[in-house]
Amino acid sequence: MQRSTNLSINEEDVKKRLYRRFIEPTTHGYKDFIGIEIEIPILNLEKKAVNFMIVHKVTEEFLETFTQFKRNVIDHNGHVCSLVDKDTGDIVSYDCSYNNLEFSLGKETNLFNVHERFSEYYTFFKETFEKHNHTLTGIGINPYRVHNEHVPIPSERYQMLYHHLCSYSRYSKLPKYFHDHPEYGMFSSASQVQLDVEQKDLIKTINVFNKLEPYKAVLFSNSVLLGENENLLCCRDMFWRDSTHGINPHNIGMYDTELESLDDLLNYIKSLNIYCTMRNGFYINFPTINIMKYFKTGKIRGEYCDKGKYDLVEFTPELDDIEYLRSFKFLDLTYRGTIEYRSCCTQPISDVMTVGAFQLGLKHNLDKLSELMDNDEVIYRHGYNPTELRKLLVERELPAFIDEDKLYNVLAVILDLSKEGLIKRGYGEEIFLKPLYERVKNHSNPARRMLEMLEQGISIDEIIKEYGEL
């Protein structure tokens, strides 16, 4: 691999590039588009490892049926791991491994268009997989994960990512706990939403929705690590926090500081770490390092994978490496002029639009939500910050200082605000909130309900079937 030439990069150049990539796009014209990504676990009903050859066969059958899709990314073994419909922007892919199917629905103006296309794709995959005794379900942690082969998709990106996550033992001198599931991306599934944001609303949006995250945990948790830590209703938070992604806590989770200006936001972005870049078509992974320190370092030593073998390489940072700076925050400002809301687990498939509807409606009622969060005394003003509250509220048992009835009363008000915001849009999307009203009424969420069903003697196989029904 060729080494980069030395470049003189000063701090002001880095700041300008960070601003241009992350903040400037919020001035490029507000369109109020919606982008939804839904990850779904694949299960072998024989309680054996998912048969990847069946996955490849089903993928090819999808291509033959949905001819508008074209091969987008091919893995090192010649198998398709990503398909794209360039007209809609829809991408069907496998996330981290061939155990996890992902539908990334191209930007749309209303949720009904998204739901219609998702339903069509999902129905095909589920029915076709079931011909081979495999299935799909809406559970955030693959309930058959113990049977699966956890290997990354043989591609530059996913091999690099897995290599990075497996490197946690190299950080043994850090005063930090690491879990022992670096393969968690291969069995955990999320439901993510991207919404356009105007620069004038950017700071307020981050601050308000950051405070909302503990409440979202109560409503949407659906990731129980069965057999290991069943007290956590959303163990996805722990997986990200206690991995190499969480070495710098600013790269994951929530904001523990309230932003007051765009300068505050830019300074926060400057506090993030970078852990990879590309040179000559190869991903390079290196010990995670603050982005500003990265550009002050003359040479960076890293590793790249060539034909299954990792080789050492030394290279010089370049400003274009900012393209590979990525956080995994619950509110992730992207280079598209959007905020990606990424804290929610995959939901039962019949409730698949709830995450997008909830977030979209509240975006259109930001001022009222802000007032509610600022005056909340049910979870706030008890000595805990938003991050600590989120950590408490992903547990099955509520903390003693929270009154359960009052908690769900606030959630009912939040749902009403979301409904009001959706009604303003005029598409009838508020219908997608109905399952959330049921959860509030029953003081439940998908994870809590699954555990209760298991305790009642209902088998995990029956739950898999129910949570997979469209």
- Mean pLDDT on 123-127: 98
Same domain, 390 and 282: no
- Residues 261, 287 within the same domain: no
What average pLDDT does this structure show over 8-32?
92
Residues 315 and 372 both lie in one domain: no
Q: Is the pLDDT of residue 294 over 50?
A: yes
Percent of the chain at pLDDT > 70 equals 98
Segment 245-255 shows an average pLDDT of 97
- Please report the pLDDT score of residue 4 as a whole number: 46
Structural domain of 283: 1-30+273-326
Indicate whether 414 pLDDT > 90: yes
Considering its fold, how many domains does the chain have in total?
2
Amino acid at 404: E
What is the value of pTM for the model shown? 0.95
My answer on whether 261 and 297 are in the same domain is no
Question: 26 and 121 in one domain?
Answer: no
Buried b (16+ CB within 10 A) or exposed e, 429-455: bbebbebbeebbeeebbbbbbbbeebe
What's the token pair of residue 325? 């700076």
Residues 307 and 244 in one domain: no
On whether both 19 and 92 belong to a single domain, the answer is no
164-168: long-range contacts, CB 8 A cutoff, minimum separation 24: 164/244, 164/275, 164/276, 164/285, 164/288, 165/243, 165/244, 165/245, 167/244, 167/285, 167/287, 168/243, 168/244
Give the Cα separation of 239 and 42 in Å (integer). 20
Query: What are the residues whose beta carbons fall under 8 Å from the beta carbon of 455, sequence distance 6 or more?
Result: none
| Predicted confidence band of residue 7 (pLDDT cuts 50, 70, 90) | low
Higher-scoring residue by pLDDT: 133, 308: 133
Q: Residue 19's pLDDT is what?
A: 97
206-233: average pLDDT:
97
**What integer is the mean pLDDT of 40-68?**
98
Using the structure block, give the residue that is written with the tokens 């849009």: 425
Evaluate if residue 125 carries a pLDDT over 80: yes
Beta strands per DSSP E along 307-436? 309-315, 328-329, 331-333, 338-345
User: Chain-wide mean pLDDT for the chain?
Assistant: 95
Other CB atoms within 10 Å distance of the CB of residue 63: 16
Non-local CB neighbours of 296 within 8 Å, separated by 6+ positions: none
Same domain, 97 and 198: yes
Asked if the model's pLDDT at residue 412 lies above 70, the reply is yes
Residues 6 or more apart in contact with residue 52 via CB below 8 angstroms? 98, 149
> What spatial distance separates the first Cα and last Cα of the chain, rounded to whole Å?
49
Please write the tens of the pLDDT for every residue from 164-198: 999 999 998 888 999 999 999 999 999 999 999 99
pLDDT at residue number 312: 94
Quick one: pLDDT at residue 3? 46
265 & 389 share domain:
yes
Q: Is the pLDDT of residue 43 over 70?
A: yes
Same domain membership, residue 424 and residue 310: no
The pLDDT of residue 45 is above 80: yes
In this structure, the answer to whether residues 302 and 359 fall within a common structural domain is no
Mean pLDDT value of segment 82-93: 97
What average pLDDT does the segment 91-120 reach? 97
